[in-house]
Structure formats: structure tokens, C-alpha cells
């Protein structure tokens, strides 16, 4: 009888122990997962709340202290401890979320301020322009004509520079009668292809097809910039604009031709026609300066080949 009772008691203990094992395993698994969550939150805290020395980080997740039960009260259970720790994790996550939102808002505002306050610094090493007293007399006259431009072949601000020769303007559609008339101008065919291009431009200008002559002469200057007739080509291009009623564009090419090669065969013509262009533009000051430079630099031309045009241009101008 006693043996039977002892066996029954032992069986009951085994059953009770077997029933308790799954609950213990479940608690251990939950506790392990909670520990993992807490470690990940601590890692996130180190990014949001870095310490000043880079070694210590605040705040860290701390489970709420378990209150000491008063005498006569039951001790907290493992489930209540887990719930307390979960409450602490949730509170820290809410704080981290709030801090991230605040930081994002500050960064956005700072980027907006920087975008509206960008200032481009002035270039360093800029060389101040030389004064007029440092230039020779002829250079001072040229600068006065060109609004202070240097001798190099660039066009002054007062007379805007010519467009690059490489980009010839697109020809305007012409009536069929004009097209046929232009086709009737025969282009020379000789051993000197460059001279043929210039001569064809001259024939177009001579026939008063000024827009076509302008296009042809620009093509010639683009293809053969070093050709001996370059001085003739630039001067004739200025003439094509002047005769077409465009003294402003003509002045650019006359000035460029004079600046490029003062000893060029048509440099005297260009300087004198520059004065003519300025006179048509009613710029008496620059017209008189160009005439004075012409008479000083090309005295023989002023008294000889170009004397008639020189005297006609001076007429009506009150040059001192």
C-alpha cells in the first residue's frame, strides 16, 4: 500500500514538472527577444544621443525600478517584469522618434537658409586696367575710338564686337527672281581657291547683293584667315554692311581690320570708313578721333588716294 502511494506521488511530481517546463522555456525565449530589442535600442540611442567625449552615451535604456512590495503584498511575477521592461522600451522609442523628427526639421531649415544665402566670391588675381597716361598717344586715340579697348582685335563696348566668323547668319528666303539673279553671278574658278572665294564676294557686293556678299565674305574669312587678301576681305565686309544701311555692324569690321593689321593694304580704308560709320551714327566725337588718327597714321593716303573721301567725311564735322 505504501509503495503504491509512493509511486502515485512520484508520478504526480513528474507530471507537474513536465507541465512547468514549457512555460519556463517560453519565458526564456521572450526574455531573450526582449534583451535583443533593448540592445538594438541602445545602439540607436548612441547615434541620436552621442556623448560629448564620443565614449559615453546618454540616455541608456533602464528598466523601471521594481517597487519593493510592502509587507503582506505579493511579489511581482516574471510577466509583470517583462511588461515593465516593454513599457520602458516603448517610452525610449517614442523619445527617439521625436528627436529624429526635430533633427530632420532643423536640417531642412538650415539647408533652406544656406540655399538663399549663397554668395559668389569675386575672382582673385584680377589685374586693374592701365591708365590712359601709361599708353602711347596713338593708343589713347584708338581707345577713345573704341571705348577703351586694347589694340588686340577685339571690339569695344561702345562698338560691340563682331560675331564669330564661324557662325554665319542663316540667309533670309529671297524671291525666286532674286535667287535667279544671284545665280547669274559667276564664281571664279582659278588655281587660287581662296582668291576665288574673295572675288566671288566682291562680285556679289558690286552687284549690290549685300546680304549675299556678307555671307560669302564671312565664309572666305573663316576658311582662309591667313590669306593675303584678308585685309581686303574684312574691309569689304564692312563696306557690305555700310552700303546695306547698317553702319553699327560695319564699324565693328572696320575697327577690327585696322586693329588686326595696321599695315594691311586696306587698313587705311577701314579707319577712314570707321569715321564715316561714326558720322552716320551721329557720334561726332569718335568720328573726329578716327579722322585725326587717319591723318596722322596715313598722311600719304589722306593727301592722295583717299583724299576725296577724307575731305567729304570731314565736311560738316566740328572737329577741334
* pLDDT for 235 beyond 80: yes
pLDDT of residue 129: 44
Domain ranges (residues) in the chain:
27-62, 139-314
CA angle (34 as vertex; 31, 36 as ends), nearest 5: 115
Within 10 angstroms of residue 242's Cβ, the number of other Cβ atoms is 22
Local confidence band at 222 (pLDDT 50, 70, 90 cut-offs): very high
pLDDT of residue 187: 92
The kind and range of the H/E element at 22 are helix 2-48
DSSP letter assigned to residue 125: T
**Calpha distance 224→168 (Å, rounded):** 15
**What is the average pLDDT across 288-309?**
95
**Calpha distance 68→73 (Å, rounded):** 9
Total residue length of the chain: 320
* pLDDT for 16 beyond 90: no
**What is the average pLDDT across 132-147?**
50
- Comparing 66 with 198, the larger pLDDT belongs to 198
CATH of 139-314, one of 3.40.50.720, 1.10.260.40, 1.10.620.20, 1.25.40.10: 1.25.40.10
> What are the C-alpha distances in Å from 168 to residues 20, 42, 161, 185, 234?
98, 71, 15, 21, 14
pTM listed for this prediction: 0.49
Who's near 25: CB < 8 A, 6+ residues apart? none
- Provide the grid cell at 302: 589722306
- Comparing 82 with 184, the larger pLDDT belongs to 184
* pLDDT for 86 beyond 90: no
**Calpha distance 17→23 (Å, rounded):** 11
**Calpha distance 29→102 (Å, rounded):** 36
Local confidence band at 43 (pLDDT 50, 70, 90 cut-offs): low
- Comparing 1 with 143, the larger pLDDT belongs to 143
Local confidence band at 68 (pLDDT 50, 70, 90 cut-offs): low
Smallest CA-to-CA distance from 159 within 287, 302, 297, 317 is with 287
pLDDT of residue 234: 97
Q: What is the dihedral of CA 19, 21, 22, 25, to 10 degrees?
A: 160
Q: What is the pLDDT of residues 200-216, one digit of tens each?
A: 999 999 999 999 999 99
Amino acid at each position: 500500500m505504501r509503495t503504491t502511494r509512493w509511486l502515485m506521488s512520484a508520478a504526480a511530481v513528474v507530471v507537474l514538472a513536465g507541465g512547468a517546463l514549457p512555460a519556463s522555456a517560453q519565458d526564456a525565449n521572450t526574455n531573450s527577444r526582449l534583451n535583443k530589442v533593448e540592445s538594438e535600442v541602445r545602439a540607436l540611442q548612441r547615434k541620436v544621443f552621442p556623448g560629448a567625449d564620443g565614449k559615453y552615451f546618454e540616455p541608456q535604456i533602464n528598466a523601471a525600478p521594481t517597487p519593493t512590495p510592502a509587507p503582506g503584498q505579493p511579489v511581482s511575477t516574471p510577466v509583470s517584469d517583462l511588461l515593465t521592461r516593454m513599457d520602458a522600451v516603448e517610452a525610449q522609442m517614442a523619445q527617439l522618434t521625436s528627436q529624429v523628427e526635430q533633427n530632420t526639421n532643423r536640417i531642412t531649415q538650415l539647408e533652406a537658409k544656406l540655399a538663399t544665402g549663397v554668395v559668389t566670391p569675386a575672382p582673385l588675381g584680377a589685374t586693374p586696367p592701365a591708365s590712359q597716361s601709361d599708353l602711347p598717344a596713338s593708343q589713347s586715340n584708338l581707345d577713345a575710338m573704341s571705348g577703351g579697348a586694347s589694340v588686340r582685335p577685339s571690339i569695344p563696348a561702345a562698338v560691340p564686337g563682331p560675331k564669330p566668323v564661324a557662325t554665319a547668319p542663316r540667309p533670309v528666303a529671297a524671291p525666286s527672281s532674286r535667287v535667279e539673279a544671284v545665280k547669274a553671278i559667276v564664281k571664279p574658278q582659278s588655281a587660287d581657291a581662296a582668291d576665288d572665294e574673295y572675288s566671288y564676294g566682291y562680285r556679289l557686293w558690286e552687284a549690290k547683293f549685300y546680304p549675299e556678299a556678307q555671307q560669302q565674305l564671312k565664309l572666305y574669312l573663316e576658311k582662309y584667315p591667313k590669306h593675303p587678301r584678308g585685309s581686303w576681305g574684312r574691309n569689304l565686309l564692312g563696306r557690305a554692311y555700310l552700303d546695306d544701311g547698317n553702319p553699327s555692324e560695319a564699324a565693328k569690321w572696320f575697327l577690327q581690320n585696322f586693329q588686326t593689321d595696321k599695315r594691311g593694304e586696306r587698313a587705311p580704308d577701314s579707319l577712314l570708313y570707321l569715321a564715316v560709320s561714326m558720322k552716320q551714327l551721329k557720334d561726332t566725337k569718335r568720328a573726329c578721333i578716327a579722322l585725326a588718327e587717319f591723318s596722322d597714321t596715313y598722311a600719304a593716303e589722306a593727301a592722295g588716294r583717299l583724299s576725296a573721301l577724307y575731305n567729304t567725311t570731314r565736311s560738316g564735322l566740328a572737329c577741334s
